[in-house]
Amino acid sequence: MFQILKLCIIIQILSIIQITKKKPLGLTFQSIPYIYYMEPNILAFWEKYELLSSSENYSAEKIKGKICRYCEKNENETTFKQITHLIPELIGENDIHTFDECDSCNNLFSGYESNFAVFIRPYLILGGIKGKTKIPAFHSRTEKGNEETRTIFKHREGNRKELHLQDLDDYTIDEETKTFSITFRKSSFTPLKVYKALLKIGLSLLPVKYDEFNRHSFEWITNRKEDLNFIPSAFITTLKGKKFTKAYAELYRAKKLVIENEMFPEHILILHFANQVFQIFLPFSDELKKEDAPNRNLSLLLFPSYAYDEIIGEQINGFRSYDLGVSTPITENHKISFSYEQADIQIPHK
């Protein structure tokens, strides 16, 4: 039987929160020990890192001749017919074009972006983010191919959300506190491809003069190189009261790669869309590798994205660290809670 639940929800995500501050992450990264931390002082991030480039003022750098910046093929070996974007349009329609990406690389990167789309789709619907053509709908994966277990979540006019539930375990509602949670049973996706979709944005923002120190990243993202050392975690912040009306990306560079016995990854990408802030560290540049020494630790500084929300008194600032190093497809159930203003519920109570 098909149950229909119609909801009118004000999007204020209440949960999905973890930890902060100098806490070991428990990830293994070769033999280099590292810690990640957020300084109590919000501005400390800018003491160590400076903005290198941003999608806000991006202008494509001209490369001599027609050579793909990513796979290094020339126009006799590949084609350059497609319009390519700096920021995937799935997180917002945009006209920020790149002119250094060949069609076969564009197709390869589109594959990465489809995985990214599965990973973030719940946020796009909750945020009412219009992609190239429309706001996507979420279709949960089915259990054992049974269509009657599929949940559908759609955006409607005026920030209304419509939820078609068949599996009643996919939601909880508390009418007293007006909180609601949905378990998004996502289709399968490959976390490593999500990382590569983010890395692509970072490499596009990298000024061309740094390419020679990051050649291995270009080779890896185009599958010309199999293995690469990198920090596989993405650090994800869900903002409670702020929504970005358009997606934008920033690339930061460490002002100094080494301070005393601490090393800092050279490049950090920060991506803003919907009510999300994503941070990844780009793979180590050759410049950083030169600085590696047994007595040096790698420090991962986190961008103080929580500051986009109004800070009232003492509060716990939350990040999710997500391991994007997995190279095989996975499925996951992602529970998101939020408060709502008004709900028109046509469903039997559990």
Contact residues: Zn ion, CB under 5 A: 68, 70-71, 102, 105
Dihedrals phi, psi of 313, to nearest 5 degrees:
60, -150
Closest CA to 22 of 255, 230, 262, 249: 262
Q: How far is the CB of 109 from Zn ion (least distance, A)?
A: 9
Q: How far is the CB of 212 from Zn ion (least distance, A)?
A: 18
Contacts of 314 (CB under 8 A, 6+ apart): none
Dihedrals phi, psi of 109, to nearest 5 degrees:
-70, -30
Q: How far is the CB of 108 from Zn ion (least distance, A)?
A: 8
Nearer to Zn ion, 23 or 215 (CB): 215
Nearer to Zn ion, 124 or 206 (CB): 206
Q: How far is the CB of 78 from Zn ion (least distance, A)?
A: 6
- Residue pair 322/27 in contact (Cβ under 8 Å)? The answer is no
Closest CA to 170 of 141, 135, 127: 141
Distance CA 315, CA 20 (A): 11
Q: How far is the CB of 89 from Zn ion (least distance, A)?
A: 19
- Residue pair 25/297 in contact (Cβ under 8 Å)? The answer is no
Q: How far is the CB of 103 from Zn ion (least distance, A)?
A: 8
Q: How far is the CB of 135 from Zn ion (least distance, A)?
A: 31
Q: For residue 48, with 0-12 CB atoms within 10 Å meaning exposed, 13-18 middle and 19 or more buried, which class applies?
A: middle
